[in-house]
């Protein structure tokens, strides 16, 4: 990782802790491992005030472009679970992909998918999008 650990805005950190403490992931076991990893990473995350956040960090509301070595590319907006709409490019922070990218930066690599079939994806571009308050 570019910054050595996850980098989170203070507000996003608080929201993520609420999501995890609400046990939202217990309903869907398909991404439980990613959220457990996120929970562990939150313990060592670097927390910044909004005005001090590096611009290349994936935050709630960010537009994120990822691509593989074979040039498979995907762009999505990272959103709250209530806004999840994969068909329209909105991926929940509590999904496997969302949990893997939050707090990471441009050029970081994530491994997406089950261990036997995982694909390495590079975060190519992160841009912020103005959003309203995140609901918990």
pLDDT of residue 19: 83
Torsion of CA 55, 133, 20, 123, to 10 degrees: -30
Residue that has been written with the tokens 């995907």 in this structure: 74
**Residue pLDDT, tens place only, 1-21:** 888 889 999 999 999 988 887
Is the pLDDT at 135 greater than 50, yes or no? Answer: no
Residue 24 DSSP SS3 = helix
Domain boundaries, the chain: 7-127
pLDDT tens digits, one per residue of 46-72: 999 999 999 999 999 999 999 998 888
Calculate mean pLDDT across residues 25-38: 66
The span from the CA of 72 to the CA of 45, in Å, is 29
Tokens matching residue 55: 């611009």
Pick the CATH number of 7-127 from 3.40.50.410, 3.10.50.30, 1.10.357.10, 3.40.50.10470: 3.10.50.30
Position 77 pLDDT exceeds 70: yes
Average pLDDT over residues 77-96: 92
pLDDT at residue 136 greater than cutoff 50: no
pTM of structure = 0.86
């Amino acid at each position: 990782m570019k910054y050595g650990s996850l980098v989170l805005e203070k507000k996003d950190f608080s929201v993520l802790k609420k999501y995890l403490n609400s046990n939202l992931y217990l309903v869907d076991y398909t991404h439980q491992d990613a959220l457990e990893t996120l929970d562990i990473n939150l313990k060592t995350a670097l927390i910044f005030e909004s005005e001090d956040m590096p611009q290349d960090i994936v935050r709630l509301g960010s537009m994120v472009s990822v691509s593989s070595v074979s040039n498979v590319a995907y762009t999505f907006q990272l959103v709250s679970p209530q806004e999840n709409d994969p068909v329209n490019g909105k991926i929940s922070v509590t999904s496997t992909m969302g949990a893997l990218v939050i707090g990471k930066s441009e050029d970081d690599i994530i491994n997406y998918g089950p261990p036997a079939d995982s694909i390495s994806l590079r975060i190519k571009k992160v841009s912020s999008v103005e959003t309203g308050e995140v609901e918990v």
